[in-house]
Structure 1
């Protein structure tokens, strides 16, 4: 039996529970900030390496493919790791592996081979995957299950702070103060510094977590565990459809962010240089940050499923607007998508694992497995962009959000089917 199943719950009720959980919650939210910063650096890295290695859109999107394919390969083993050794050891493993991935950028720059950059990104993403599998269910369990969506949205707001700061810092470090790709144009020398800094930060945080006392918690009560242990996750339609929902959401969000620099450089949209476009990405992710702080409060009173459906429909309308317009209208409408993306991941995640009992760790692994959408959807959009143009390529994330809207409208019924099976 795993540590999280055999140890007594750390928490007590009332104010003592809140006090016991406050420090662990603060500690875990720092991880959300960090992996947000790391992930969004890809949006700036893509146009940098695209210019250095003279890549097509499809070839450039291999950056996201290698990064997010790690979720597909590592998520299930990470779920078993957390189940067997606990959340804290999962976090430590993720931090160390991610730091190794960052250090691999140095030889990649020296050798100047694209495949080495892709390898480094895969290792980095493997560490981030373990962090995700550990942190998301842990934060969800640190308090009242009824407010799990609110708690995850608060943590994800810190994640969005990282994604907001990331493009600004990354744009300056990768493109230089002048913002021109002509600086070190033939090499990728500017990539070394930000990733070596990240490696140092990751290792420092790992040392802090090694000495930090985190509460050992039960995922769910015994009655819930007994009911769930005789069932398969395939019998939980709200989880299965939620896996598809996470696939679509992450794929669409990453695809949109990955194309923004090149989209804003298009003469029909804004005709901006890379460094100016990179700064605008901060508004896309900054909107998500603002939306998550708002969502953390709103979701205490509004049903999570309704919030998902409303936001998905709003994004569909914004995508149709940016695809059918030009200039500032196209620019502002695509940036506004970030605001409505805000609550998607944590809310879909929390409603998909609701009521899974002892199967929650495995369900979390499934959901993180679906983050592979960030590898496949941008690649598909790259193919469409190469053949039909970058503006038309936004049809790909449009289809994803149509599915998410359907999931939001139907997840309550799907969850009820699972409860009926549990009896």
Structure 2
């Protein structure tokens, strides 16, 4: 027999949360989005640095980034199952701890000047980010009213873009500007001593990153976070028998949409500096090119803040379609034009890409109810699409760096199709609110 008092408390727990009840949690989670955006984009300044230190071609350089995104493919679903066992809050703390461990590994890699240790350390950092992504993205999407999930997730993703905006300053100043390779024009040959000295330039940045991650983990450990309601927890065995992830079109087409979008975003970001320093485009040093990379990520930040506001007034799928059309147009410009015009087309694609990930993610889990955790795991696993940046690296070696951007154009077209058709929900399940106070 149920306890009337307990039933009353449960009803109160499942009441629709007020804005004030979840805003403190959103503010704290925004710091996580900032940090994983920051660390991810440090790679964009790290890649040309490592290319110089280890004397790599484009394909070998993009393999480094592929290892980063392979972690998403390997750890996405295990992260979802781990969250089921330890809960969202503990998952966030563990994810930060794993990232800090990987950052310290990068310090060791710089000291040893080891390509292998660099790859392993980046894999560890990306594994921690994967756990954070699987936990934080659905948490933000369902923590408030369902009708504003796309706007809310786009807003916190704007803080992710804020991290990506500041990272090139950080990486450009503490890595590229302090190295011989970072201040040399494309084609300059470095001595062995110069390359060894350049390798150690990454030690201080990653020590600072590890310290900040540890501080955020401590703050989250001390914080009281709302927990998700029953519909967003993994369905029990009996419930699960009648439910299928594959009956939801928005998820089925959303997984490849995330995968394909990441090919576009990572390909542009990681090859941006290499593209801009070409004599027929910008003809500048990598250190100066990093300043223009800041504008690319700045466009993503501005676009996400603006997109969050726009989606409060317009249907999210239509907003996504408009941004995809813009991204397609400017990428065609980057693939066909020359000089500073081509460079500015590549910068502007950041604005077009800005809302794509959070909007696709929120549309992909819409109406998934008790399947939300598993759906989130699949969508985060799809971030492994960024590993195919190696394909673009191969295209750049075989057909020219500029021609490789036609792959990006094809990616934008798929996102447009998803916005128009693939994102329409089928067989939606009921959503329930979160519990407004930590238990």
Normalized against structure 1, the TM-score is what? 0.92
Shift of 1:221: 7.8
Aligned equivalents of 1:164, 1:42: Cα separation in 2: 13
- For residues 367-395 of structure 1, what are the alpha-carbon distances to aligned partners after superposition, in whole Å with 9 as ceiling and x for unaligned? 0000001111x100000000111000101
Tell me, yes or no, if the aligned pair for 2:111 and 2:203 is still in contact at 8 Å: no
User: Mapping of 1:74-223 within 5 angstroms?
Assistant: 74-176=75-177, 179-180=182-183, 184-187=194-197, 188-218=199-229, 220=231
Give the 3 Å change call, closer, same or farther, for CA 351–155 of structure 1 in structure 2. same
Structure 2 CA distance for aligned equivalents of residues 397 and 165 of structure 1: 25
Tell me the alpha carbon deviations over residues 319-352 of structure 1, each in whole angstroms, 9 at most, x when there is no partner: 1111111111101111000011111001000010
Shift of 1:220: 3.1
Secondary structure (helix, strand or coil) at the match of 1:186 reads: helix
- Indicate conservation of the 8 Å contact 1:139/1:151, yes or no: yes
Contact 1:36 1:159 in 2 (8 A): yes
Query: Within 2, Cα distance between the matches of 1:10 and 1:344?
Result: 36
C-alpha contact (below 8 Å) 2:113/2:200 kept by paired residues: no
What is the TM-score when the length of structure 2 is the normalising length?
Answer: 0.89
Q: Which whole-Å CA distance do the structure 2 matches of 1:412 and 1:79 have between them? A: 22
C-alpha separation in 1, matches of 2:34 and 2:13: 25
User: 2:385 aligns to what?
Assistant: 373
Within 5 Å, which residues of 2 pair with 1:198-347?
Answer: 198-218=209-229, 220=231, 230-347=242-359
How big is each residue's C-alpha offset from its partner over 1:166-200, in whole Å with a ceiling of 9 and x where there is no partner? 01110111112585156943341101111111111
Instruction: Please state how far the C-alpha of 1:404 moved relative to its aligned partner.
Output: 0.8
Report the counterpart of residue 19 of structure 2 in structure 1: 18
> What are the equivalent positions in structure 2 for 1:51-62 lying under 5 Å apart?
51-62=52-63
CA shift in 2, pair 1:297/1:11, >3 Å: farther
Q: CA deviation at 1:307?
A: 1.4
Displacement of 1:110 in angstroms is 2.1
**Structure 1 stretch 296-305 or stretch 366-375: which is displaced more?**
296-305
Alpha-carbon distance in structure 2 between the residues aligned to 1:267 and 1:242: 39
CA distance in 2, matches of 1:9, 1:106: 51
Deviation at 1:13, TM superposition (A): 5.2
User: What root-mean-square deviation, in Å, do the aligned CA atoms of Structure 1 and Structure 2 show?
Assistant: 2.3
State the alpha-carbon separation in 2 of the partners of residues 101 and 203 from structure 1.
12
**Per-residue deviation, 1:251:** 1.6
Pick closer, same or farther for the CA change 1:128–1:266 going to 2, 3 Å. Answer: same
| Cα displacement (A) at 1:92 | 0.6
- Following the alignment from structure 1 to structure 2, what is the Cα–Cα distance between the partners of residues 124 and 361? 22
Using a 3 Å threshold, how does the CA distance of structure 1 residues 9 and 268 change in structure 2: closer, same or farther?
A: farther
In structure 2, runs of 5+ residues without a counterpart are 1-8, 185-189, 430-439
- Rate the CA distance shift 1:219–1:257 in 2: closer, same or farther, 3 A: farther
Distance 1:94 1:284, change over 3 A: same
Give the Cα–Cα distance (whole angstroms) in 2 for the partners of residues 65 and 34 of structure 1: 20
Alignment check: 8 A CA contact 2:368 2:428 kept: no
Structure 1: runs of 5+ lacking an equivalent: 1-6
CA gap 1:27/1:58 in 2 versus in 1, 3 angstroms: same
Say whether the 8 Å CA contact 1:8–1:218 is kept in structure 2.
no
Give the Cα–Cα distance (whole angstroms) in 1 for the partners of residues 91 and 328 of structure 2. 37
Deviates more, 1:102-111 or 1:160-169: 102-111
Please say which structure displays the higher CA radius of gyration: 2
| Cα distance in structure 2, aligned partners of 1:9 and 1:364 | 27
